[in-house]
Structures are given as structure tokens and as C-alpha cells.
């Protein structure tokens, strides 16, 4: 019943926002941030690996961990949920995908321009001039637990860092601005696979709700976003999202 109601809301929408988190990629086998702190990485914690201070103190350790995460994400394939999100964009061209994920599975499923609020494993940049040296993260195939020296910027010689948002850092301004504008102007927002507790990203579905949009949540578990959701679909992204794509 609620699935039919959700599908009807999507079918009638002119502008849809799909807001995704780690649960979106769970069925592709992409480990969450915390799940990647296993095996030989288990002796570190997020504070050793995902802060500007950690990179400054031990760039080889941090680069090695991100190279490892990037290799694991590269080995994963988009799931039926990612493909449904891309199909939704084909059916409703004014669809904006806003993701907190640093993998590239939305792009590889066919979404044209997902907004990456927390950056990307595949967009390393120079700490000096901010340039994006192409695909340098591919340079060495990482082993678990292995330190790897980060490359140097071809222009200024400074270290190249992972293009993700670390603890204590601001979100990329243009991405956040575009996501807020899309949320404020949509008729339907789908929130998929996110716990909705990490701010400011977690404001996105709340902004849509305040602006009068219908919020549809896809998550097997309860979250704080239950409170702003018009329809709560308790299940996984890969099983439920295909049923929401207009025929």
C-alpha cells in the first residue's frame, strides 16, 4: 500500500531529489567508512585516518588507506537501486541525485551528474593549488594495511590528497549550495540508505519537507528522518527502488 502511494507521488512529480547514503551501496558490497577499519586497518581509528591533521602527520598511511578504499569501491558494481535511480532520471529529467557516498556507483549506473556532498575517492587534489590531477589514485595497486606515498602535484609539487571531506572540514560550497537549492525546489525527495544524523548533509531532506515536498524514505531500519517522511518504506534500496520508477 505505502509502496503504491510512494510510486504515485513519484509518477506525479516534476522535480525529484534522490538523497543517498551508505545504505545505497550496501548491496554492492561497498564497505561503510567504519566497516573499512577492519583487518590490518583495525588498529587505527577515524581520527588517525580521516582528518587533515592525520594526513599532515602521516600522509603515506592516510593515502594508503584511501587507495585501499578506492580499489574496493572500483571492484564493486552498481546494484539494482543505483540503476533505478538512473532510470528515474531518464523518466523525469528534472531529477537531482545528491549523495553522501564517496564511491562512483551512481555515475557508473548512468546518473549524469550526482552531487557529491562528501567528495569522491576518485577526485584527488593538490593541497597547495587545489588542482585535480587526473586519476593519480590509480597509480599503485594497494595492499591491505600498506602505506603508500601520495603523488606530488604536477604544477606546484605539493602533496596530492584524497578528494573527500574529512572530519572538521567544510563541505564543498558549490555542491552544498546546489543540493540545498534542489531540495528547496523539489516536489518529491527520496531519502535512501542514510541514517540522517551527519550534518549539514542531513539537512537536505528536512529542507525539502519544510518547503512542502513529499519525503519518501527507503531504509530497512527506523531513523530520525521517520519524523519528516510522508511515506516510510522499510526495505532495501535494491529491492524497493525499481518499483518507484514510472513505467
Catalog residues that contact ligand APR under the rule CB under 6 A: 21-23, 26-27, 32-33, 100, 118, 192-195, 198, 218-221, 223, 236-237
Q: How many C-beta atoms lie closer than 10 Å to residue 142's C-beta?
A: 20
Beta pairing class for 160-161 and 125-126:
antiparallel
| Alpha helix ranges (H) inside the chain | 2-11, 22-26, 46-49, 52-57, 59-75, 80-91, 105-109, 173-185, 203-210, 237-240
**Cell of residue 218, nine digits:** 527507503
Q: What are phi and psi of 152, to 5 degrees?
A: -105, 145
Catalytic residue from among 82, 106, 116, 118: 118
CA-atom Rg of the chain in angstroms? 18
Comparing CB distances to ligand APR, the nearer of 27 and 107 is 27
Comparing CB distances to ligand APR, the nearer of 23 and 142 is 23
Q: How many C-beta atoms lie closer than 10 Å to residue 103's C-beta?
A: 25
Q: Which residue has the cell 586497518?
A: 41
Comparing CB distances to ligand APR, the nearer of 153 and 204 is 204
List of residues 6+ apart from 234 with CB closer than 8 A: 219, 220, 221
Helices 203-210 and 173-185, interaxial angle, to 10°?
30
Catalytic residue list contains 118? yes
Q: Which residues are catalytic?
A: 118
Amino acid at each position: 500500500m505505502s509502496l503504491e502511494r510512494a510510486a504515485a507521488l513519484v509518477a506525479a512529480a516534476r522535480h525529484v531529489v534522490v538523497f543517498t547514503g551508505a545504505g545505497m551501496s550496501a548491496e554492492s558490497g561497498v564497505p561503510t567508512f567504519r566497516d573499512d577499519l577492519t583487518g590490518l586497518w583495525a588498529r587505527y581509528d577515524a581520527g588517525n585516518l580521516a582528518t587533515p591533521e592525520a594526513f599532515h602527520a602521516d600522509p603515506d598511511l592516510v593515502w594508503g588507506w584511501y587507495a585501499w578504499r578506492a580499489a574496493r569501491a572500483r571492484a564493486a558494481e552498481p546494484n539494482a537501486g543505483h540503476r533505478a535511480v538512473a532510470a528515474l532520471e531518464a523518466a523525469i529529467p528534472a531529477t537531482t541525485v545528491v549523495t553522501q557516498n564517496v564511491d562512483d556507483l551512481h555515475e557508473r549506473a548512468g546518473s549524469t551528474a550526482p552531487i557529491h556532498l562528501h567528495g569522491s575517492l576518485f577526485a584527488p587534489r593538490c593541497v597547495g593549488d587545489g588542482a585535480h590531477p587526473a586519476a593519480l589514485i590509480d597509480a599503485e595497486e594497494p595492499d591491505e594495511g600498506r602505506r603508500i606515498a601520495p603523488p606530488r602535484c604536477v604544477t606546484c609539487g605539493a602533496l596530492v590528497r584524497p578528494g573527500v571531506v574529512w572530519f572538521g572540514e567544510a563541505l564543498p560550497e558549490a555542491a552544498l549550495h546546489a543540493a540545498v537549492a534542489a531540495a528547496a525546489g523539489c516536489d518529491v525527495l527520496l531519502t535512501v540508505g542514510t541514517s540522517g544524523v551527519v550534518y549539514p548533509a542531513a539537512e537536505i531532506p528536512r529542507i525539502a519537507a519544510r518547503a512542502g515536498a513529499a519525503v519518501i524514505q527507503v531504509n530497512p531500519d527506523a531513523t530520525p528522518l521517520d519524523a519528516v517522511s510522508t511515506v516510510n518504506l522499510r526495505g532495501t534500496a535494491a529491492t524497493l527502488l525499481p518499483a518507484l520508477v514510472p513505467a
